[in-house]
A and B are shown apart, each in its own frame.
Chain A
Amino acid sequence: MTGLEEKLRAAITETADEIRAWEVPPLALRTASRLGPASAGRERRWRRPLVPLAAAVAVLAVVVASLTVASLRPSQHSRRYDPAIASGPFRGAPRYYVEIALTRARQYNGPRHALVRATSTGAVLATISPPRPYSSLVAVTGDVGDQTFVLAAVRDGGRRDARPYSAFPATRLFLLRLTPAGRPKPLTPLPIPEFGDYWTLTGLVLSPGGTRVAVGLYANTQKQLAEVRIYSLSTGSSRTWAGAGVIGFGPYDSQSISWPAGLADVTFMWGGGNLRSDGLRLLDAASPGSSLVQDSRFAVADPQPNGAEINSDATLTPDGMRIAAVMSPRKGSNYIDEFSVRTGRVVWADLRQPGHGLSYQDVLWTNGTGSVLIVKTDDESGNGLGIVRNGTFTPLPGPPMGYNATAWAW
């Protein structure tokens, strides 16, 4: 925990303690009594006539879903595996994704496991727990296909976000491979040492082709040391770039780094306390050097000149031309911007909203050119996923996830 965080915690606690127990006024329910508690019977009365209608809607939904699923089902005779969905509203997206979710709903400090899901149906194909002594999975990344993933596991089940970075449990990386049918093979520990002591994982991305993994790390030293390390999956050999600042927005922020196909560049979200260099930066992993700031180049300012901030993280398109991000303006609803990597300027913006009270939160995946995006949305009831194609938002199917699911990778 930094000195500022300690000071803030002390100030808030002391301010709260200004209210003494004997100062609490008596409870007065008189105002509310005039209306009285809501009657359960009254609620049921309006529901009753809706039951047949709800049943009809449910049947219709099942029929439509079946037809949709049937049209998206890969051909049994296909000899060559194609990771992308061929047709329908989700065409072009990878068939499977891995989601990190609470093992028990609403137990926010409890352990998390991974679910392998089918993109077109949301169906859970497999549930993955970490091998002992690891008890919780906290982050995930995938390659451009949909069969290789890297998962981060921690030794204890609790997420102690509020504690000092140094108190975070040791983290180990595991390789997950899926069969073409989406079935997982056993998790394999990578030949990469645990991140323990004072290192906390703040970014995780698999290289195109799935041969290397880049991690963002944060050490709670007085100089706020951050590192990007790139490891070979087969040998564990590594290269390190370091700087004084923070990568991403906190522990287990999988999306803070991206690494598109065909490029040496790794993008990372950088905060070093200098507005001229803070924002999204590009690191050429093939060139020499070891400095995160001097050996990387500035790509997108955060905040933008109009005051809008990148809402959480940003994603580089696989063709290396654009960076897609959800923007949070000073006033109004979030929207999607795509920036030119070359100029850092906005080249495409989608100010339309997903509808149904949803709000854009994150760009989680893009196709080669950024014309198809998988985005995270949320509303008051929780998180959701959807595809944006030509400005049209289509929600991905699946049961309501509330706030139980926390990370996704395609």
Chain B
Amino acid sequence: MKWNLPQAFADADRNGQRLGDLRAGQLPGAAQPDPVAAITVLYEQHALELIRLAHVMLGSQTSAEDTVQEAFCGLYRHWGRLRNQDRALSYLRSSVLNGCRSTLRRRAPGPAVGPGEQTASSAEVAVLGSEQRRTVMQALRQLPARQREALVLRFYLDESDAQIAADMGIGESTVRSTIHRALAALGRSLGEMP
């Protein structure tokens, strides 16, 4: 079977399937016996949202694409050891978040993007009237990685405290305090009440 991935993504985007299954953490349909076929289906259905998630975290489309690609390659390598293949999507999401953390740790202080890359802070976006968004995203990216991650999981994926705890590998009470402190820091940075 040949997958027309770009077309499938375009269809999904047009149909408004933005976060659907990614938020629910479920793998649609039965697990495929052939790892390549199963992973291809997963990629078709979830790569877009995973790249968007990584893009929000990293501020760089190239880094986001690389991170997601590595996550799918990791899934392929570990497919046989995945006890419950219905949990593949959770595995992927955790891998992407881990990949983002590693990238952020490696990244030297300075611009988050590669040369010539278009980002939220580009002139084009500013012309489009997104100054406020640029400011908010800049403040978000100045937060410690853990706080940033918790905010993205809460306000992008709409995850509950318990789900964020499971995704980040921290306790639920820590999730609460992390989000609280992150909002307070963001508020201070933007001169607003949290």
Contact = CB atoms under 8 A, between A and B. Distances in A.
Interface in B154-184: 154-156, 158-163, 165-166, 169-174, 176-177, 179-181, 183-184
B102 to A, nearest CB: 15
A247 to B, nearest CB: 11
Nearest to B79: A37
B181 to A, nearest CB: 7
Contacts of B126: none
Contacts of B172: 383, 403, 406
A323 to B, nearest CB: 16
Given A27-B5, A28-B69, A13 B156 contact: yes
B158 A376 contact: no
Interface residues of B, number: 71
A313 B176 CA distance: 10
B154 A161 contact: yes
A40 B39 CA distance: 17
A362 interface: yes
A11 B133 CA distance: 5
Interface in B30-71: 35-36, 39-40, 43, 47-48, 51-53, 55-56, 61, 64-65, 69
B169 A380 contact: yes
B140 A224 contact: no
Interface string A20-55: 111111111101110111111011000000000000
Interface string B116-155: 0010100000000010110011001000000000011011
B12 interface: yes
A143 interface: no
A40 to B, nearest CB: 5
A8 B43 contact: no
Contacts of A35: 77
Interface stretch (A69-77, A102-110, A192-200, A226-234): A102-110
Contacts of A89: none
B140 A38 contact: no
A383 B180 contact: no
* Most B CB within 10 A of own CB, among A3, A310, A379, A406: A406
Contacts of B52: 16-17, 19
A2 B194 contact: yes
A4 B183 contact: yes
B74 to A, nearest CB: 7
A106 B160 CA distance: 12
B78 interface: yes
Contacts of A380: 169
B39 A3 contact: no
Given A8-B151, A38-B79, A255 B194 contact: no
B73 interface: yes
A338 interface: no
Contacts of A31: 73
Contacts of A162: 154-155, 158-160
B108 interface: no
B105 interface: no
Contact of B137 (A11, A224, A311, A378): A11
Nearest to B81: A38
A79 interface: no
A8 B140 contact: yes
A310 B53 CA distance: 29
Contact of B76 (A9, A15, A37, A273): A37
A11 B39 CA distance: 31
B115 to A, nearest CB: 18
A177 interface: no
21 contacts: A4-B186, A4-B192, A5-B155, A11-B140, A12-B152, A18-B118, A21-B13, A22-B6, A25-B69, A29-B39, A40-B80, A43-B80, A108-B159, A108-B163, A109-B160, A159-B160, A159-B161, A162-B154, A162-B159, A224-B193, A403-B172
Interface of B: 5-6, 9-10, 12-13, 35-36, 39-40, 43, 47-48, 51-53, 55-56, 61, 64-65, 69, 72-74, 76-81, 118, 120, 130, 132-133, 136-137, 140, 151-152, 154-156, 158-163, 165-166, 169-174, 176-177, 179-181, 183-184, 186-187, 190, 192-194
- For the complex of A and B, the 7 pairs showing the least CB-CB separation, nearest first, are A21-B9, A312-B173, A21-B13, A16-B52, A249-B176, A32-B73, A11-B136
